[in-house]
Structure 1
């Protein structure tokens, strides 16, 4: 695990900790690691859970399925990012979402009961980790609110423009690469895949943007 110390120290959860403090807190949190193959389910929606996960390598998807089996990708997480903390902060035992590896991934699991309650030693850095987790939760809530705002748009075009506007805002550029392929983008926007492809083609021909796979370059009409 030592080889991941630099990654962990730069991660949102362990920000502001020193290496010696990190080693100590990982012991307090009962840290265990596990590797997953591509497209392997890590946590299933409504599954009993008692841990949070930190991505050490690879990439995972946070996904939701409706009653009809339609899947929606909420977002993707890469090295250093955290999942499972919503259940941890609520002291719940059931996951509200599924987590699946998008590629071969190495995950660090932490006991969330130990995470949210300072240990008997009252380590100041344990309190820092709890504060960090609250910050991660607040940021994740913003991401979900953003998605809800996008999904509230009526048409595929409006949803797509809203999503691309946020991507441009985040990257501070009119050129960017999104984290989704076309099928995944349709899942994220909760729209039909064929309908999305048709709308993308129309918008390209109308001069809104140029697009190649996951790369977009916005033009004046999209930025208006």
Structure 2
């Protein structure tokens, strides 16, 4: 699906990966790298773990579930990416262009695909042009933010019991939004998968935490009380 720059350019500049881009630079970058849209249905796979990566994916709408299969064949849910997030950066950096995870659509998704022909180089544009240098700087900043999401997940999983896992997750989220009110972006079942626990056990612990005056809970909104 072709990009209508006159319609979409203002939307794209709201994404962190395109922040500080003059409109003419962004238009040049998208045209040069051969950008296009792809639409996916819920549960459709964009990349399987181990697939060759042939385009950088920027999520325009919808959400992407990231999963990892271990050496024993167990499929583990890692986290979700949402509008403005990206994946597939291995094809641009100096690393093997192999997908480390399976990326599956949690909902219907619209993806901006940036193929960057010939490994971040095309015949139309040199690697040293201003738009590419700015994009690479933004990309590295966003990779650091993506890595923080995985670090937070590891911190949660390192806790000894479900209550500690929940509180660690909620505190991390509250620090991001600078509020004691936290809205989780997924269902209770997916929250249980994120924590690596059984859903019924999660609901039991949440009820106990509410009774103990640690949290208030209204659907997907948590309020940390202590």
Task: Give ranges in structure 2 of 5+ residues lacking alignment.
Answer: none
1:161–1:215: structure 2 CA closer, same or farther, 3 Å change rule? same
Separation in structure 1 between the aligned mates of residue 150 and residue 143 of structure 2, nearest angstrom: 11
**Equivalent residue, structure 1, for 2:132:** 126
Count of residues in Structure 1 that have an aligned counterpart in Structure 2? 219
More moved, 105-114 vs 48-57: 105-114
The partner residue of 2:85 within 67, 81, 86 is: 81
1:136–1:114: structure 2 CA closer, same or farther, 3 Å change rule? farther
**Equivalent residue, structure 2, for 1:180:** 186
| 3-state secondary structure, aligned to 1:89 | coil
**Equivalent residue, structure 1, for 2:163:** 157
User: Alpha-carbon deviation of 1:112?
Assistant: 4.5
| 3-state secondary structure, aligned to 2:112 | strand
The partner residue of 1:45 within 45, 49, 64 is: 49
User: Alpha-carbon deviation of 1:53?
Assistant: 0.4
Whether the 8 Å CA contact 2:188–2:199 is kept in 1: the answer is yes
**Equivalent residue, structure 1, for 2:66:** 62
**Equivalent residue, structure 2, for 1:19:** 23
The partner residue of 2:198 within 192, 202, 205 is: 192
Query: TM-score if structure 2 supplies the norm length?
Result: 0.88
Separation in structure 2 between the aligned mates of residue 77 and residue 218 of structure 1, nearest angstrom: 24
| 3-state secondary structure, aligned to 1:26 | helix
The partner residue of 1:218 within 198, 219, 224 is: 224
1:121–1:102: structure 2 CA closer, same or farther, 3 Å change rule? closer
User: Alpha-carbon deviation of 1:114?
Assistant: 5.5
**Equivalent residue, structure 2, for 1:140:** 146
Task: Give ranges in structure 1 of 5+ residues lacking alignment.
Answer: none
RMSD over equivalenced CA pairs, Å: 2.0
1:161–1:95: structure 2 CA closer, same or farther, 3 Å change rule? same
More moved, 158-167 vs 90-99: 90-99
The partner residue of 2:98 within 65, 89, 94 is: 94
| 3-state secondary structure, aligned to 1:145 | helix
Whether the 8 Å CA contact 1:54–1:82 is kept in 2: the answer is yes
User: Alpha-carbon deviation of 1:116?
Assistant: 4.2
Separation in structure 1 between the aligned mates of residue 153 and residue 90 of structure 2, nearest angstrom: 17
Query: TM-score if structure 1 supplies the norm length?
Result: 0.89
**Equivalent residue, structure 2, for 1:167:** 173
Separation in structure 1 between the aligned mates of residue 47 and residue 217 of structure 2, nearest angstrom: 34
